[in-house]
Amino acid sequence: MKVDYKNAFNMARKDKFLEVLLDKFLSIYPFVYHCDNDESLQFHGNNSNVSQQSILQGDPLGPVMFCILLHCFSISMESELNIWFLDDASLEDDPSKVWNDLNLIISSRKKLD
């Protein structure tokens, strides 16, 4: 099975990522918190808006943040083949295991929103 998260970076919240860092990667937490805790100002032509919750595409830490969030649930999957590249995954095994992993992906996304 192939999985591609739609709008992946925008679904991952900074606060959830910081919680994971605090729990599992304490040594880099202070640096990342300092770099990425504040709200970000985005510009689109003459318009601007403030992003406070999601990981922004273009943020140098964005792919790392997103991968750490995905890693936290992908390690609990049952499929023998479980390969991820950012928001794209390939899963292969017995159909019941792949189905269980798909349900895990769906439920994990809801937890990150």
Q: Is 65 helix (H, G, I), strand (E, B) or coil?
A: helix
pLDDT digits over 28-60, tens only? Answer: 888 877 776 656 556 667 776 555 555 666 677
CB atoms within 10 A of CB 12: 24
Owning domain of residue 43: 2-112
Instruction: Decide which of 91 and 29 is more confident.
Output: 91
pLDDT digits over 2-16, tens only? Answer: 988 766 666 666 777
Residues 6+ apart with CB under 8 A from 108: 73
Q: For the whole prediction, is pTM greater than 0.85?
A: no
